[in-house]
């Protein structure tokens, strides 16, 4: 079945991908391991198994080109929200004056999941593996609340307790997400909180602390160490999370093929930790690396207030602010960096996924950054023309797609542009209200703040030559 008359390209439930695409064997430079902060050496398997579900740890380091998706998961996806639709943005194209078929804009609509974003693709998977090995509770952090909502949903499905430490700025800005998580039986704490040693330390320094993803990660990690029946769950950055999201790009490839498009010319996603961007682009960058489609342009869009790729440094850094978790080699603004409370809360992490960092360093992907006022303005245009209110995070991809389409129009080029609509913005209406009332302001991270955060990094000596 295919509905293209109204700009939608659909797949049947039996067309859900049977495997995840693993990019690790294809990377142009070696993936670095997670490092134990105690001794500067790679995290031993037993330490990783104590933190994450065992199957996720095995997937984190797998060199298999594809990894089978369990049938139980595929069946559940088929009963609920996958395959997600691919839309041609006909209304947006018309608004931009893109006549005919010379420039086409498509978006993969991940807002159709039960929690309104791409996050359940890995949340359900992690809950599934955790339940199988006897875990009783999953604990995590969340920025804007999309990830926390996804994990709360996944845990509720498998009758696991779920505890979420939500960045305080978003806890205040986005009460709807907090309510949704609690409806799914999750406990939700504003971070920094009084429930962990890490949280209390930051509250003592500033009782009104806005929080950061780095701090929330510290709290979640500390909480997860209370019992061997509790595991920590991540919604971005690490390899296995990006792996689980590749279902997005695989479906998009099949949907484009159904209407005779072999490949897009440009692939775009917003970037915070890298999960939704990677989920769309990994199947395409694999083709680029292997010479199948070497000319695909892949672009990640960041906020100017937290540009970890565009302005960060590629180096070893802690994944969390309190230095309780593993050390990772990635593009980073420094683990002590506290971002301004912009409305794109899911794009405020100090670091970037190692996979994305390696691809960027090898010039296989590009990065750009935008101010939040121009992003929200693009989101409003998308709402007017396509009828969907995008999350502020997703609106970064929309802004870049518009820019690329207008550039192609000016240069009289023929282009197929594909971007990921990673989630809807029904829980983010305050951002739109602030824009419409003239209260939304732009913020660009000063270079001196980045340098200060990077200069403060202290860690054990790590011998890169061993990897």
* Angle between the N-to-C axes of helices 429-436 and 372-386, in degrees from 0 to 180, rounded to the nearest 10: 110
Q: For the residues 372-391, what does the mean pLDDT come to?
A: 97
Q: What are phi and psi of 111, to 5 degrees?
A: -75, -5
Q: Which residue has the tokens 């696991």?
A: 160
Distinct helix (H) and strand (E) counts, the chain: 18, 15
Confidence of residue 3 (pLDDT cuts 50, 70, 90): low
Q: What is the mean pLDDT of residues 122-141?
A: 97
Whole-number average pLDDT of the chain? 93
Tell the burial category of 373 from Cβ atoms under 10 Å away from its Cβ (0-12, 13-18, 19+).
middle
Phi-psi sector, 77: left (phi>0), alpha (psi -120 to 50), beta:
alpha
pLDDT > 70 fraction of the chain, expressed in percent and rounded: 98
Residue-by-residue DSSP string for 140-171: EEESSSHHHHHHHHHHHHTT-EEEEEEEHHHH
Q: Kindly tell me the burial class for residue 91, based on how many C-beta atoms sit within 10 Å of its own C-beta (0-12, 13-18, 19 or more).
A: middle
pLDDT-wise least confident of 1-10, 149-158, 226-235: 1-10
Residues 87/11, Cβ–Cβ less than 8 Å = no
Q: Kindly state the helix (H) or strand (E) to which residue 109 belongs, with its residue range.
A: strand 103-109
Convert the pLDDT of each residue in 279-331 to its tens digit. Answer: 999 999 999 999 999 999 999 999 999 999 999 999 999 988 888 788 999 99
427-458 pLDDT per residue, tens: 999 889 999 999 988 988 888 888 888 988 88
- Report the pLDDT value the prediction gives residue 456, as an integer from 0 to 100: 85
CATH 3.90.400.10 for the 117-238 domain, yes or no: no
- pLDDT at position 1, please? 41
**Predicted pLDDT at 320:** 85
* Residue range(s) in the chain whose domain bears CATH number 3.40.50.1100: 8-16+69-116+240-466, 117-238
- What pLDDT score was predicted for residue 212? 86
Separation of alpha carbons 93 and 364, rounded Å? 28
pLDDT at 342: 64
Return the SS3 of 102. coil
Residue 323: which residues within 8 A CB-CB, separation 6 or more? 37, 218, 335, 459
- Residues 35-68: pLDDT tens digits? 988 888 898 888 889 999 999 999 999 999 999 9
User: Could you read off the pLDDT of 166-184 as tens digits, one per residue?
Assistant: 999 889 988 999 999 999 9
pLDDT of residue 5: 55
Class of domain 8-16+69-116+240-466: alpha beta
pLDDT, average across residues 342-349: 70
Averaged pLDDT, 193-200: 94
For residue 37, the model assigns a pLDDT of 87
Please compute the mean of the pLDDT values over residues 411-416 and round it to a whole number.
Answer: 97
Strand partners, 367: 300
| SS3 per residue for the chain | CCCCCCCEECCCHHHCCCEEECCHHHCCCCCCCCECCCCCCECCHHHHHHHCCHHHHHHHHCCCCEEECCHHHHHHHHHHCCCCCEEECHHHHHHCCCCCCCEEEEEEEHHHCCCCECCHHHHHHHHHHHHHCCCCEEEEEECCCHHHHHHHHHHHHCCCEEEEEEEHHHHHHCHHHHHHHHHCCCEEEEECCCCCHHHHHHHHHCCCCCCCHHHHHHHHHHHHCCCCCEEECCCCCCHHHHHHHCHHHHHHHHHHHHCCCCCCCEEEEECCCCHHHHHHHHHHHHHHHCCCCCCCEEEEEEECCCCCCCCCEEEEEECCCCCCCCEEEEEECCCCCCCCCCCCHHHCCCECCHHHHHHHHCCCCEEEEECHHHHHHHHHHHHHHHCCCECHHHHHHHHHHHHHHHHHHHCCCCEEEEEEECEECCCCHHHHHHHHCCCCCCCCCCHHHHHHHHHCCCCCCCCHHHC
Chain segment 197-218, per-residue pLDDT in tens: 999 999 999 999 989 888 998 9
pLDDT of residue 344: 58
Say yes or no to pLDDT of 21 above 70: yes
């Amino acid at each position: 079945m295919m509905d293209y008359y109204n700009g939608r390209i659909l797949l049947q439930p039996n067309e859900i991908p049977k495997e995840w695409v693993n990019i690790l064997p294809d990377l142009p430079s070696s993936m670095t391991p997670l490092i134990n902060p105690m001794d500067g050496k790679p995290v031993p398997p037993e330490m990783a198994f104590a933190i994450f579900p065992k199957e996720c740890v095995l997937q984190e380091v797998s060199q298999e080109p594809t990894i089978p998706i369990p049938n139980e998961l595929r069946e559940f996806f088929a009963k609920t929200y996958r395959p997600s639709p691919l839309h041609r943005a006909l209304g947006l194209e018309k608004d931009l004056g893109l006549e005919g078929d010379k420039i086409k804009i498509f978006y993969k609509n991940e807002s159709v999941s039960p929690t309104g974003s791409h996050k359940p693709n890995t949340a359900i998977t992690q809950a599934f593996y955790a339940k199988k090995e006897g875990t009783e509770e999953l604990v995590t952090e969340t920025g804007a609340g999309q990830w926390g909502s996804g994990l709360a949903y996944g845990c509720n499905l498998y009758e696991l307790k779920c505890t979420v430490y939500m960045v305080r700025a978003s806890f205040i800005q986005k009460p709807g997400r907090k309510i949704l998580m609690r409806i799914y039986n999750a406990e939700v704490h504003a971070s920094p909180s009084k429930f962990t040693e890490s949280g209390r330390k930051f509250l003592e320094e500033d009782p009104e602390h806005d929080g950061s993803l780095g701090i929330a990660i510290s709290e979640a990690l500390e909480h997860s160490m209370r019992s061997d029946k509790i595991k920590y769950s991540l919604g971005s950055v690490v390899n296995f999370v990006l792996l689980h999201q590749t279902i997005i790009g695989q479906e998009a490839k099949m949907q484009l093929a159904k209407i005779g498009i072999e490949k897009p010319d440009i692939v775009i996603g917003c970037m915070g930790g890298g999960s939704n961007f990677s989920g769309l682009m990994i199947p395409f960058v694999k083709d680029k690396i292997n010479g199948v489609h070497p000319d695909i342009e892949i672009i990640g869009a960041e906020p100017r207030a937290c540009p970890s790729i565009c302005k960060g440094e590629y180096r070893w850094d802690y994944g969390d602010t309190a230095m309780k978790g593993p050390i990772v080699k990635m593009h980073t603004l420094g683990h002590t960096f506290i971002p301004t409370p912009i409305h794109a809360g899911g794009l405020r992490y100090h670091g970037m996924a190692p996979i994305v960092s390696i691809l960027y360093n090898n010039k296989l992907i590009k990065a750009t950054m935008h101010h939040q006022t121009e992003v929200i303005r693009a989101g409003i245009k998308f709402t007017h023309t396509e009828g969907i209110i995008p999350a502020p995070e997703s609106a970064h991809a929309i802004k870049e797609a518009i820019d690329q389409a207008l550039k192609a129009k000016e240069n009289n080029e023929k282009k197929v542009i594909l971007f990921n609509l990673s989630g809807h913005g029904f829980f983010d209406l305050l951002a739109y209200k602030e824009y419409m009332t003239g209260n939304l302001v732009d913020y660009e991270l000063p270079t001196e703040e980045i340098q200060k955060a990077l200069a403060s990094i202290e860690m054990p000596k790590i011998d890169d030559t061993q990897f």
